Protein backbone atom coordinates (compact mmCIF):
# COMPACT_ATOMS: atom_id res chain seq x y z
CA UNK A 1 0.00 0.00 0.00
CA UNK A 2 1.48 3.39 -0.97
CA UNK A 3 1.68 6.35 1.37
CA UNK A 4 -1.40 8.23 0.22
CA UNK A 5 -3.56 5.10 0.03
CA UNK A 6 -2.65 4.26 3.64
CA UNK A 7 -3.47 7.78 4.72
CA UNK A 8 -6.79 7.85 2.96
CA UNK A 9 -7.82 4.75 4.86
CA UNK A 10 -6.47 6.02 8.18
CA UNK A 11 -7.78 9.58 8.08
CA UNK A 12 -11.29 8.81 6.83
CA UNK A 13 -13.50 11.82 6.21
CA UNK A 14 -11.36 14.37 8.02
CA UNK A 15 -8.51 14.37 5.51
CA UNK A 16 -5.21 12.70 4.79
CA UNK A 17 -1.57 13.04 5.78
CA UNK A 18 1.73 12.03 4.29
CA UNK A 19 5.42 11.91 5.11
CA UNK A 20 8.42 9.64 4.96
CA UNK A 21 9.32 7.13 7.63
CA UNK A 22 12.44 7.84 9.64
CA UNK A 23 14.85 5.89 11.80
CA UNK A 24 13.86 4.77 15.28
CA UNK A 25 15.33 6.52 18.30
CA UNK A 26 13.04 5.59 21.16
CA UNK A 27 16.02 5.27 23.48
CA UNK A 28 16.33 9.05 23.20
CA UNK A 29 12.83 9.81 24.53
CA UNK A 30 11.55 10.81 27.96
CA UNK A 31 7.98 9.63 27.49
CA UNK A 32 6.90 6.03 27.09
CA UNK A 33 5.40 4.78 23.85
CA UNK A 34 1.86 6.18 23.44
CA UNK A 35 -0.92 3.66 23.93
CA UNK A 36 -3.19 5.34 21.38
CA UNK A 37 -0.75 5.51 18.49
CA UNK A 38 -2.39 2.57 16.73
CA UNK A 39 0.73 1.22 15.01
CA UNK A 40 4.48 0.98 15.38
CA UNK A 41 6.22 4.24 14.53
CA UNK A 42 8.00 2.83 11.50
CA UNK A 43 4.65 1.75 10.05
CA UNK A 44 3.13 5.23 10.22
CA UNK A 45 3.44 7.60 7.25
CA UNK A 46 4.52 10.58 9.36
CA UNK A 47 7.29 11.19 11.93
CA UNK A 48 6.09 9.42 15.07
CA UNK A 49 7.27 8.43 18.54
CA UNK A 50 11.00 7.81 18.81
CA UNK A 51 11.85 8.95 15.29
CA UNK A 52 14.13 11.79 14.32
CA UNK A 53 12.23 14.99 13.61
CA UNK A 54 12.86 16.27 10.08
CA UNK A 55 14.65 19.59 9.74
CA UNK A 56 13.15 22.61 8.00
CA UNK A 57 13.86 26.32 7.75
CA UNK A 58 11.07 28.87 7.33
CA UNK A 59 10.69 32.62 7.84
CA UNK A 60 9.11 33.90 11.02
CA UNK A 61 6.34 36.09 9.60
CA UNK A 62 6.47 38.58 12.47
CA UNK A 63 10.21 39.03 12.91
CA UNK A 64 11.34 38.30 9.36
CA UNK A 65 14.07 36.01 10.67
CA UNK A 66 14.73 32.52 9.34
CA UNK A 67 13.86 29.84 11.87
CA UNK A 68 15.41 26.38 11.55
CA UNK A 69 14.26 23.45 13.65
CA UNK A 70 17.89 22.34 13.73
CA UNK A 71 18.75 25.45 15.74
CA UNK A 72 16.71 24.14 18.68
CA UNK A 73 18.55 20.84 19.05
CA UNK A 74 20.47 20.61 22.34
CA UNK A 75 18.72 23.83 23.39
CA UNK A 76 14.92 23.78 23.33
CA UNK A 77 11.99 21.40 23.19
CA UNK A 78 9.78 22.07 20.16
CA UNK A 79 5.98 22.09 19.99
CA UNK A 80 4.89 22.45 16.36
CA UNK A 81 1.49 22.53 14.67
CA UNK A 82 0.01 23.58 11.31
CA UNK A 83 -2.85 26.01 10.74
CA UNK A 84 -4.57 28.51 8.48
CA UNK A 85 -6.33 31.54 9.93
CA UNK A 86 -9.47 31.34 7.77
CA UNK A 87 -10.28 27.91 9.24
CA UNK A 88 -14.10 27.85 9.63
CA UNK A 89 -14.63 24.90 11.96
CA UNK A 90 -12.54 25.93 14.95
CA UNK A 91 -9.83 23.30 14.48
CA UNK A 92 -6.98 25.72 13.75
CA UNK A 93 -7.89 28.10 16.59
CA UNK A 94 -8.12 25.04 18.86
CA UNK A 95 -4.66 23.87 17.80
CA UNK A 96 -3.32 27.36 18.43
CA UNK A 97 -4.98 27.37 21.84
CA UNK A 98 -3.19 24.15 22.75
CA UNK A 99 0.14 25.84 22.07
CA UNK A 100 -0.99 29.04 23.78
CA UNK A 101 -2.00 27.21 26.98
CA UNK A 102 1.28 25.30 26.93
CA UNK A 103 3.05 28.63 26.59
CA UNK A 104 1.06 30.03 29.53
CA UNK A 105 2.12 27.07 31.67
CA UNK A 106 5.74 27.67 30.69
CA UNK A 107 5.39 31.34 31.64
CA UNK A 108 3.81 30.48 34.99
CA UNK A 109 6.51 27.92 35.81
CA UNK A 110 9.29 30.05 34.32
CA UNK A 111 10.63 27.71 31.67
CA UNK A 112 9.77 29.63 28.48
CA UNK A 113 13.46 29.58 27.58
CA UNK A 114 13.24 25.80 27.28
CA UNK A 115 10.54 25.67 24.57
CA UNK A 116 9.94 26.86 21.02
CA UNK A 117 6.30 27.09 19.90
CA UNK A 118 6.01 26.86 16.12
CA UNK A 119 2.64 27.55 14.47
CA UNK A 120 3.09 27.04 10.73
CA UNK A 121 0.60 28.26 8.13
CA UNK A 122 -0.08 26.33 4.94
CA UNK A 123 -1.98 29.32 3.47
CA UNK A 124 0.79 31.86 2.80
CA UNK A 125 -1.33 33.59 0.14
CA UNK A 126 -3.69 34.99 2.81
CA UNK A 127 -1.79 34.51 6.07
CA UNK A 128 0.38 37.59 5.86
CA UNK A 129 2.35 38.94 8.81
CA UNK A 130 -0.47 41.34 9.74
CA UNK A 131 -3.10 38.61 9.53
CA UNK A 132 -1.05 36.21 11.64
CA UNK A 133 -0.32 38.88 14.26
CA UNK A 134 -4.02 39.75 14.53
CA UNK A 135 -4.89 36.05 14.76
CA UNK A 136 -2.29 35.58 17.50
CA UNK A 137 -3.69 38.56 19.41
CA UNK A 138 -7.17 37.04 19.19
CA UNK A 139 -5.83 33.73 20.52
CA UNK A 140 -3.99 35.35 23.42
CA UNK A 141 -0.44 34.57 22.31
CA UNK A 142 2.15 36.15 24.60
CA UNK A 143 4.75 37.59 22.25
CA UNK A 144 6.70 39.17 25.09
CA UNK A 145 7.34 35.78 26.70
CA UNK A 146 9.51 34.73 23.78
CA UNK A 147 9.70 31.39 22.02
CA UNK A 148 6.61 31.86 19.83
CA UNK A 149 7.00 31.79 16.04
CA UNK A 150 4.38 32.07 13.31
CA UNK A 151 6.17 30.37 10.43
CA UNK A 152 5.11 31.31 6.92
CA UNK A 153 6.44 29.53 3.82
CA UNK A 154 7.45 31.85 0.98
CA UNK A 155 5.03 30.29 -1.51
CA UNK A 156 2.31 27.69 -1.93
CA UNK A 157 4.90 25.36 -3.44
CA UNK A 158 7.17 25.76 -0.43
CA UNK A 159 4.23 25.23 1.93
CA UNK A 160 3.45 21.91 0.27
CA UNK A 161 7.09 20.88 0.38
CA UNK A 162 7.45 21.53 4.11
CA UNK A 163 4.01 20.95 5.57
CA UNK A 164 3.05 17.86 3.57
CA UNK A 165 6.26 16.30 2.27
CA UNK A 166 8.34 16.92 5.38
CA UNK A 167 5.86 16.83 8.27
CA UNK A 168 3.00 14.70 7.01
CA UNK A 169 0.13 17.19 7.04
CA UNK A 170 -1.82 16.57 3.86
CA UNK A 171 -4.23 19.38 2.99
CA UNK A 172 -6.52 20.03 0.05
CA UNK A 173 -7.77 23.37 -1.15
CA UNK A 174 -11.54 23.23 -1.61
CA UNK A 175 -14.46 25.46 -2.46
CA UNK A 176 -16.39 26.76 0.57
CA UNK A 177 -19.49 24.99 -0.71
CA UNK A 178 -17.69 21.67 -0.22
CA UNK A 179 -17.05 22.23 3.48
CA UNK A 180 -19.07 20.00 5.76
CA UNK A 181 -21.36 21.59 8.33
CA UNK A 182 -22.90 25.05 8.56
CA UNK A 183 -20.23 27.75 8.26
CA UNK A 184 -22.56 30.59 7.29
CA UNK A 185 -21.33 32.67 10.21
CA UNK A 186 -17.69 32.47 9.13
CA UNK A 187 -16.13 34.21 6.17
CA UNK A 188 -13.52 31.81 4.85
CA UNK A 189 -13.02 33.78 1.64
CA UNK A 190 -12.79 32.18 -1.77
CA UNK A 191 -11.52 28.83 -0.56
CA UNK A 192 -10.94 26.65 2.47
CA UNK A 193 -8.86 23.58 3.23
CA UNK A 194 -9.62 20.02 4.16
CA UNK A 195 -6.70 19.07 6.39
CA UNK A 196 -5.68 16.53 8.99
CA UNK A 197 -4.36 18.07 12.23
CA UNK A 198 -1.03 16.95 13.66
CA UNK A 199 0.91 18.54 16.52
CA UNK A 200 4.47 17.46 17.33
CA UNK A 201 6.29 17.43 20.65
CA UNK A 202 10.02 17.08 20.00
CA UNK A 203 12.74 16.79 22.63
CA UNK A 204 16.05 18.65 22.75
CA UNK A 205 17.84 15.75 21.04
CA UNK A 206 15.55 16.13 18.03
CA UNK A 207 13.40 13.03 18.57
CA UNK A 208 9.62 12.91 18.43
CA UNK A 209 8.09 12.36 21.85
CA UNK A 210 4.51 12.69 20.62
CA UNK A 211 2.74 13.13 17.30
CA UNK A 212 -0.75 14.10 18.41
CA UNK A 213 -3.36 13.64 15.69
CA UNK A 214 -6.60 15.57 15.81
CA UNK A 215 -6.84 18.28 18.48
CA UNK A 216 -5.08 16.97 21.60
CA UNK A 217 -6.26 17.71 25.10
CA UNK A 218 -4.51 20.78 26.48
CA UNK A 219 -3.82 19.18 29.85
CA UNK A 220 -2.22 16.18 28.16
CA UNK A 221 0.13 18.35 26.12
CA UNK A 222 1.01 20.52 29.13
CA UNK A 223 1.78 17.44 31.22
CA UNK A 224 3.85 15.83 28.46
CA UNK A 225 5.72 19.06 27.84
CA UNK A 226 6.51 19.40 31.54
CA UNK A 227 7.93 15.87 31.60
CA UNK A 228 10.07 16.38 28.49
CA UNK A 229 11.45 19.73 29.67
CA UNK A 230 11.96 18.51 33.22
CA UNK A 231 9.47 20.97 34.66
The pLDDT of residue 155: 97
Neighbours of 33 (CB within 10 A): 12
CATH number of the domain where residue 158 is located: 3.40.30.10
- The answer to whether 53 and 47 have CB atoms below 8 angstroms apart is yes
The pLDDT of residue 26: 58
The pLDDT of residue 23: 43
Check pLDDT > 50 for residue 115: yes
- Count of helices and strands (H, E) across the chain: 5, 9
149 a known binding residue? no
Check pLDDT > 70 for residue 24: no
The pLDDT of residue 166: 96
92 a known binding residue? yes
**Which domain covers residue 19, as residue numbers?**
3-229
86 a known binding residue? no
The tens digit of pLDDT for each residue in 167-226 reads 999 999 988 776 665 445 556 678 999 998 999 999 999 999 999 999 999 999 999 999
Domain count along the chain: 1
Q: What is the rounded radius of gyration, in angstroms, for the C-alpha atoms of the chain?
A: 17
Neighbours of 156 (CB within 10 A): 13
Amino acid sequence: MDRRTYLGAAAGTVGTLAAGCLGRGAQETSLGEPEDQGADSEDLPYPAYGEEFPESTLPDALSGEEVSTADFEDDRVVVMTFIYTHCPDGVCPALTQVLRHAQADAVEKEYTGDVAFLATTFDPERDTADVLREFGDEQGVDYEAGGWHFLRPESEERAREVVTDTYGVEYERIDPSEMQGDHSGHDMGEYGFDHYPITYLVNREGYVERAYTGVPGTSRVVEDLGTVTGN
